[in-house]
Amino acid sequence: MKYPFSGRMYSAPESFLGRLFAVSNNPEIISFAGGLPDSSLLDVEGIKDASSYVMEEEGREALQYTTTTGYLPLREYIAERYNKRLGIPASADDIRIVNGSQQCLDLTAKIFLDSGDAVGIENPGYLGAIEAFSMYQPVFKCVDMDDNGVLSDVFKTLFEKEKPKFFYGIPNFQNPSGRSYSDERRKEIAEIIRETDGIFYEDDAFGELSFDNKPRMPVKKYAPENTIMSGSFSKIIAPGMRIGWIYAPKEVISQFDCAKQAADLHSNFLCQKIMHRYLTSVDLDSHIRKITAAYSKKCRLMCSLCDEHLPESIVRTDPKGGMFMLLTLPKKINSLKLFEEGLKRKVAVLPGIPFYANGGGEDTVRLNFSSSTEDEIISGMKRLKDTVASFRL
């Protein structure tokens, strides 16, 4: 049987994720290739208590259909946290609840992109965004990064000449590099999009995971009408609950509601109510400090082992938060071959190839430090050292 799939299905890049999941399920392999939070830091008891409360006190309502916009008290909580933490005058009307911030990628692309439209993205950029946007057959316009963020002069030229429908970026602790935009670069980007009437899609999935627990001002603070922002509770509370949100101007929200309703009517209402009960029952900032302290320690350990075990020709980024770092390899080492050789030694890294929308990445690999224990990081980095040594630099 030959099934008549749409043309867009053949435009999507081959996903590396299936192979990653297979690696992650092998207990013999120490995997730095995934992107999972530390399971030991999930507040199982707190979620259990919140779940019990919702089922006992609000069970019939929580198990019913609800509105597309999302649970109002939860949207109010998110808006108020933006006000208190970042000084942004958000309101519940600006917020919509989605099935993890990954759904924001799909629905934003759906409401903005036609086949052949230009869309901007960091180089390297988040592979989940590349996969989601590819379904709508855009032309990717990539902008390289330095340690302060995307190159502002290239960014400006992109909007002046190519006029992309929007530019997607992760200013805080970027996936895959771990880099963060400097405050000066954020202001430059905001000024450019205001001047060119552009749109910046600001993915802030990692914004709460700063090792110094100091908030970084988002681009949206400097260009509120030109910025779409998404966030998620997956990295700080529970990825399995799939609760994220979009924060956008009202004209965008109106179109987003149409696309969201057509996609799934509404996000999981039971989990929304449980999430709200949990958030209003715990000290969230204290919980986040516990997470960031653990991740900071693991990150510093992995950085020191990179410096100790790997040759100087391998250059790493220096994350100040988040879950990832990027290694740039010498010409003699291909990232895919490093991945394959690493598996023979029971260690997994993620080749940079899927993070480059227009090709590249053969000289980079992403390492995740959040999901491994400190002992696993020590053992895994020794295995990576042996893997690199096999290339006889």
Query: Does residue 53 form part of some domain?
Result: no
Terminal CA-to-CA distance of the chain, rounded, Å? 50
How far apart CA 145 and CA 334 sit, in angstroms, is: 21
Whether 50 maps to a domain, the answer reads no
The CA distance from 336 to 67, in Å, is 45
Contact 329, 338 (CB under 8 A): yes
The Cα–Cα gap between 141 and 154 comes to: 11
219 and 347 in a single domain? The answer is: no
pLDDT band of residue 18 (cuts 50, 70, 90) is low
pTM: 0.96
Res 12 pLDDT > 80: no
Give the pLDDT score at 78.
98
We report the CATH number of the domain holding residue 356 as: 3.90.1150.10
Three state DSSP letters for 245-283: EEECCHHHHHHHHHHHHHHHCCCCHHHHHHHHHHHCCCC
In which region does residue 71 sit, left (phi positive, over 0), alpha (psi from -120 to 50) or beta (all else)? beta
| Per-residue pLDDT reduced to its tens digit, 173-221 | 999 999 999 999 999 999 999 999 999 999 999 999 999 999 999 999 9
Residue at a domain's end among 279, 302, 328: 279
pLDDT beyond 70 at 360: yes
- Does residue 107 lie within any of the structural domains? yes
Same domain, yes or no: 75 and 158: yes
CATH number for 127:
3.40.640.10
- 219-249 pLDDT tens trace: 999 999 999 999 999 999 999 999 999 999 9
Nearest Cα neighbor of 312 from 388, 365, 377 is 388
Q: What is the per-residue pLDDT for 393?
A: 64
Residue 59 inside a domain? The answer is no
Does position 16 have pLDDT exceeding 80, yes or no?
Answer: no
Asked whether the predicted pLDDT for residue 17 surpasses 70, the reply is no
Mean pLDDT of 348-369: 96
Name the domain boundary from 279, 298, 331: 279
Do 308 and 363 belong together in one domain? Answer: yes
Mean pLDDT of the chain: 96
For residue 193, being part of any structural domain is answered with yes
Q: Helix (H, G, I), strand (E, B), or coil: what is residue 124?
A: coil
Q: What is the pLDDT of residue 24?
A: 66
> How far apart, in Å, are the Cα atoms of 313 and each of 6, 135, 271, 343, 364?
45, 37, 47, 22, 12
* Span 79-117, pLDDT tens digits: 999 999 999 999 999 999 999 999 999 999 999 999 999
Among 247, 279, 311, identify where a domain stops.
279
* Residue-range definition of the domain harbouring residue 150: 64-279
- Number of domains forming the structure of the chain: 2
Distance CA 138, CA 120 (A): 10
136 and 37 in a common domain: no
Pair 253, 365 in one domain: no
Question: Quick one: 196 and 290 in the same domain?
Answer: no
> Is the backbone peptide bond immediately before 37 cis, with ω within 30 degrees of 0?
no
Which residue has tokens 């120490």? Answer: 30
* Region label for 87, one of left (φ > 0), alpha (ψ between -120 and 50) or beta (otherwise): left
